[in-house]
Amino acid sequence: MLIHPNAYIDPDAHLGHGVTVGPGAVIESEVIVGDGCCIAPNAVIRSGTTLGSRCRVFPGAVIGDEPQDLAYGGAPSRVEIGAETVLREGVTVHRGTQPETVTRIGDRCYLMANSHVGHNSVLGIEVVLANNVLLGGYVTVGDRAFLSGNCVVHQFCTIGRLALMSGLSGLSKDLPPFCILQNLASNQVAALNTVGLRRAGFSPDERRDLKRAFRMLYLERLNVKQAIVAMQEAFPSGVAAELWQFAAASKRGICDAKPTVRDE
């Protein structure tokens, strides 16, 4: 363990083996820092935060501060961050707003400079938030989703796994898994994320099924309820079933199709 003498570590914080803490860093009480974590100079880890093993917190990041919610009454709540997650310069992650609730970030996520995760949000594994991404409260982001620079996501939205938001996109509806949200077009799906599917190791048969389901949802002039029924009949299980399951579970309504939407 290597702790700079100018860092502040509360006596009630717990630091694992091999942790390094730079000058000016602050680690408050009731913080758990996993083995092998690196806390850079001037990073702040506030009470109620748990970091998994081998996380890296860069200068100026503030993790576990109070939620930006006028209804917050000061009750204790938490932030939980999975192993090997990287939080770059100026990242902010706020704890839950209701008593004992949690903001949760999964393993191996990468949060780039000045991105923000609002209270009670949940990120899956290997999620990437590029610079200046803003997530409102209660946002859910599926595994391996990629949110490009300066994207904004309204509170209570859900983003499916392996979805992609292009730079400067805005979202106030739910973005289905495997889909691309076009830049500068709020709530409009532009394409199926075929490149991401190949990189993620989806088989040719799985990609073919997803293209068929995507066409039913966005290209065959069915309304959402009709598309869900059609997809249920064609894909009662398997990866393509995630599309109709996501659409059926959506509470905010799913994104519409851009006029030039494509499936490849």
Q: Which pLDDT band holds residue 264 (cuts at 50, 70, 90)? A: low
Question: What pTM did the predictor assign?
Answer: 0.95
Write the pLDDT tens digit of every residue in 176-214.
999 999 876 678 999 999 999 999 999 999 999 999 999
Write the pLDDT tens digit of every residue in 134-182.
999 999 999 999 999 999 999 999 999 999 999 999 999 999 999 999 8
For residues 7-19, average pLDDT = 98
At residue 258, the pLDDT reads 83
At residue 121, the pLDDT reads 98
Domains with residue ranges and CATH for the chain: 2-196 (2.160.10.10), 203-262 (1.20.1180)
Which residues partner with 38 through β-bridges?
A: 20, 56
At residue 18, the pLDDT reads 98
How many CB atoms lie under 10 A from the CB of residue 166?
18
Dihedral sign, Cα of residue 64, residue 69, residue 70, residue 75:
negative
At residue 226, the pLDDT reads 98
